[in-house]
Amino acid sequence: MLKDPADPDGAGRTISLYETLSQEEVTLNQVKLARAIVIFMELLHVLIGRNRDILLTVNETRKRRDGSSTESYSARAHPPTSPSPNHLSFFNDGFNRTDDVTNTFHGGGSTTSTMDRTDKAMAIQRELQFSFVSMTKALHPVVLAAVRSETPKWMRLCCQDNYFSSGAYKQTRIGTY
């Protein structure tokens, strides 16, 4: 991007930091940057959405397994919570997690460490979702100003705090504007 566009053979000089760009060049670079941001955000959206789906599946499996055993570790360590519709708000509602001392007394072994890793993964996922929504809120107006007609519809929807918990991310079509 720092090659001089007036240099036809491309082997010449680069643009210095002190040269000013014309308004056309500034606009062209803003459009390129906005498009690159959209592509980056779409990749993040796919990764965060798929990770959420996997963790929801793991959580459902864990709930079914814990519900089938009469005196399981999870039933003792984690008090039951009222499930929300389709359990989609799990990552936004928070969850009860015991400390390592309680885990040691109530189960120890590989079950505790697996559940602890799953809980940690869910906490990280929650933070990823929160950060992604915050980043989208900040970038949406900038992208909209630079590439109005090319701004994806999902970016506007993602500016809502309940974007992931409502399940709206599942209906998003990435790459179609």
Query: Chunked in runs of 10, what are the mean pLDDT values of the chain (177 residues)?
Result: 58 67 90 94 94 92 76 46 44 43 44 76 94 95 92 90 89 69
Q: How far apart are CA 57 and CA 137, in angstroms?
A: 28
pLDDT at 91: 52
Q: How far apart are CA 166 and CA 87, in angstroms?
A: 10
Q: Give long-range contacts, CB 8 A cutoff, 24+ apart: 99-106.
A: 102/77, 103/77, 106/73, 106/76, 106/77
Whose tokens are 């008090």? That residue is: 79
pLDDT at 66: 79
Query: What single-letter DSSP state applies at residue 142?
Result: H
pLDDT at 51: 94
CB 164 within 8 A of CB 87: no
Closest CA to 112 of 82, 80, 78: 78
pLDDT at 145: 93
As a dihedral over the C-alpha atoms of residue 75, residue 81, residue 84, residue 90, rounded to 10 degrees, the angle is -80
Planar angle of CA 132, 138, 140, nearest 5 degrees: 90
